[in-house]
Amino acid sequence: MRLLGTAAVVTAGALALAGCGGSDSGSGASGSELTVSSAYMPQPVSDSMAAGFLTIANKGGTKDELTSVTSDVAGSVTVHETVGSSMEEVTSLAVPAHGQLVFKSGGNHLMFEKLKRKPMQGEKVTVELHFAESSPVTVEIPVKSATYNPKTGH
């Protein structure tokens, strides 16, 4: 009777990482190995739907998976992948060990549906990311102009 090695290495305390999704403030306290950066939401043109983008970095040596997303502004948030010129809803996306899961315009994106209010430029939208292994991570996503492009800043 021997134990099978690696039980969950995940510890609590990931909530300490919540808060500003902006510039990373360095040293990860113990807990989650995941950090979120470059989050933004273009101000939606639609009253019912919006998109969101961010980057999830995994400093740990274990792969994780983004399994669901919730938000205070939307009745439903789904994860979409762009395949060719169309997009498909997916149930999860991998966050590779020592790697990144990137959501960007033209690629993976978060889809906010059934909006409870229309996010306006200058506001922030709260999003909770749920993972297969790590504790949930809360991100404040700033709402940018409808035509915002992170490369140019507009």
Residues that bind Cu ion (CB under 5 A): 80, 87, 111
Q: Specify the residue, 18 or 111, whose C-beta has the smaller distance to Cu ion.
A: 111
Q: Specify the residue, 35 or 68, whose C-beta has the smaller distance to Cu ion.
A: 68
Q: Specify the residue, 103 or 148, whose C-beta has the smaller distance to Cu ion.
A: 103
Q: Specify the residue, 71 or 135, whose C-beta has the smaller distance to Cu ion.
A: 71
Q: Name residues whose C-beta falls within 8 Å of residue 85's C-beta, 6 or more positions apart in sequence.
A: none
Q: Specify the residue, 80 or 144, whose C-beta has the smaller distance to Cu ion.
A: 80
Give me the least distance between CB of 41 and Cu ion, in Å please: 13
Q: Are 70 and 64 in contact (CB under 8 A)?
A: no
Give me the least distance between CB of 81 and Cu ion, in Å please: 8
Name the closest residue to Cu ion (Cβ): 80
Task: Report helix, strand or coil for 14.
Answer: helix
* Distance in angstroms (rounded) separating the CA atoms of residues 38 and 101: 12
Give the E-state strand segments of 7-73 in sequence order: 19-20, 34-42, 49-58, 64-71
* Distance in angstroms (rounded) separating the CA atoms of residues 89 and 118: 22
Give me the least distance between CB of 23 and Cu ion, in Å please: 28
Give me the least distance between CB of 77 and Cu ion, in Å please: 11
Give me the least distance between CB of 71 and Cu ion, in Å please: 15
**Phi–psi pair at 16, nearest 5 degrees:** -65, -20
Q: For residue 101, which of 134, 142, 149 has the smallest C-alpha distance?
A: 134
